[in-house]
Structures are given as C-alpha cells and as structure tokens.
Amino acid sequence: MPRRAASAPPPKGLTRPVKVCVRVRPVLEREVEHGTYHGCIAIAHERVYISTEDKPVLIGSKDDPLPEGIRAYPGFDGLLDQDASQEDVFQSAGKEAVDGVLLGLNAAIMAYGQTSTGKTHTMVGDRTRPGLCLKAAGHLFSEAALCGSQIEVQASFLQLYLNHITDLLVADGHERSLKLREVVGEEATDTKVEGLSERLVQSMDDVAAVLEEGNRRRQQACTALNASSSRSHAVL
C-alpha cells in the first residue's frame, strides 16, 4: 500500500494507492489424511467464489446462475489460486509497492487471514521458496543497483504481543515494552517506535538473517489448527 512521503515527487506508474489480493492455499496433507478438507473457495472468471454451506464450490461458465449457497466476490486487484508460486504472489502483491519505494513513496505489505491460512509462508517462506519479505528486499537491492543509486537500508523487526511492543533484534527485547509516539512535521505526522533498534542490511541474505533471528524470539503457542501458529503480530 504505497503512501506518498512528505517530500516525495509525484508518483509515476502506480495504478492504485491500495491493492487487495486474494491467495488461496493448497490443501494440506493432514487435511486429506483426516478427511476434513472441503473445497469451499474457488477462483474463476476474475471472481472469488465461496460456499456458505458444507459443500464444495463447483463453478460453470461466467454467465451461469450461481448454485444455492455459493456467493461471488468480484473487484480484487489480484487473484492467486492454489497453484500460484511465491514469485506469482510477489508480482501481483509486492512488486508495485517496492517500485513505489524507489520513487520516494512509503509502502506497506500486509497479510491478513485466520490461523493456518498460509500468512507466514506467504510473507516469510523459506530458503528454497522465499516469501514476500525476501523477494521485496531482493527487488529493492537489484533495482537500486541497476539505476546506480547509493542507498542505505536499515531493518527493524518488532512484535506486538498482548498489547506490548518488543524488539525482536535485541537479546533481552522481550523484557521491556516499547512505546509509540507521533512525530509532527511541517507537512505530515509520522509514527515512531521509541527505542526500536535498526540493523544495516546490504543484501537479501542479510534480510534473511534478520528474519531468522527475529522469528526465533517470537512468542509461539500451539493452537488446534496450527501447531506452529504465532500468537503475535510481527512487523519487519
């Protein structure tokens, strides 16, 4: 979601200030084994189709009347089905935001969904299938190098857990809660986290190391749906 910085030039080439993309994760092996999987969501004809009943979504042509219990939701900026790769997700949901940063804009990429829907995989991924965080960093560094820009990139990684903000890049960060404060400027008001550390990053590998270090410190707890589901929000 690019947002124009106070001193930024007029944006060029950005289609919309806010984009909303939908990603449908594939069925999990344990869901097949336990017989608990129902295809209750489908992407077709530039729409998301959702079943409001305990039955699969079966969609015909675009002009066919919807079956009872099926609802259609058009209007999304990107639709990514179960076969979408991490690169597909970046091209649809991340690249334009990074390009906006290179034009002097502020941008944020957020993942929203209930537990076990694939938010961590989409945002973080792993070394073989990097998620949006790493792909965005890689694109930022490569584009800056191509245009000969001299830039310095600092990374911070915080956790919001039980209404407390903690620094994930400090060994004892969980022992103290950081405070938010507003910084009022001549043209805009910004929000800062007092005392949040910054780490110089110069490559995608550096960002991967920051992610790995911070994720080790995140508060983890088991849930009925996802044994490794994080019970906190994290912001890189």
Whether 222 maps to a domain, the answer reads yes
Whether 181 maps to a domain, the answer reads yes
Whether 92 maps to a domain, the answer reads no
- Do residues 230 and 218 touch, judged by C-beta distance below 8 A? yes
Residue 218's domain comprises 152-236
Q: Is the pLDDT of residue 10 over 50?
A: no
- Do residues 148 and 109 touch, judged by C-beta distance below 8 A? no
Structure tokens at 109: 């990429």
At 8, the pLDDT band (50, 70, 90 cuts) reads very low
Whether 114 maps to a domain, the answer reads no
Dump strand ranges (E) for the chain: 3-4, 21-23, 41-44, 47-51, 70-73, 78-80, 105-106, 153-155, 158-161, 164-167, 180-184, 189-193, 199-201, 233-235
Can you say which residues are annotated as belonging to the binding site for ATP? 113-120
Distance CA 71, CA 125 (A): 31
- Do residues 125 and 18 touch, judged by C-beta distance below 8 A? no
Whether 106 maps to a domain, the answer reads no
Mean pLDDT, the chain, whole residue set:
85
- The pLDDT of residue 112: 94
Whether 135 maps to a domain, the answer reads no
Please indicate whether residue 153 or residue 220 has the higher confidence score (pLDDT). Answer: 153
pLDDT digits (tens, 9 = 90+) for 93-131: 999 999 999 888 899 999 999 888 899 999 999 889 999
Instruction: Say how many domains are in the chain.
Output: 1
Average of per-residue pLDDT across 166-172? 91
Can you say which residues are annotated as belonging to the binding site? 113-120
What is the maximum span of the chain, computed from C-alpha positions, in angstroms?
59
Q: Are β-strands 180-184 and 189-193 bridged in parallel, bridged antiparallel, or unpaired?
A: antiparallel
Whether 48 maps to a domain, the answer reads no
pLDDT digits (tens, 9 = 90+) for 27-86: 888 888 887 777 788 899 999 999 888 777 888 888 888 888 889 999 999 999 999 999
Q: How far apart are the first and last CA of the chain?
A: 15
- The pLDDT of residue 7: 46
Whether 110 maps to a domain, the answer reads no
- Do residues 31 and 225 touch, judged by C-beta distance below 8 A? no
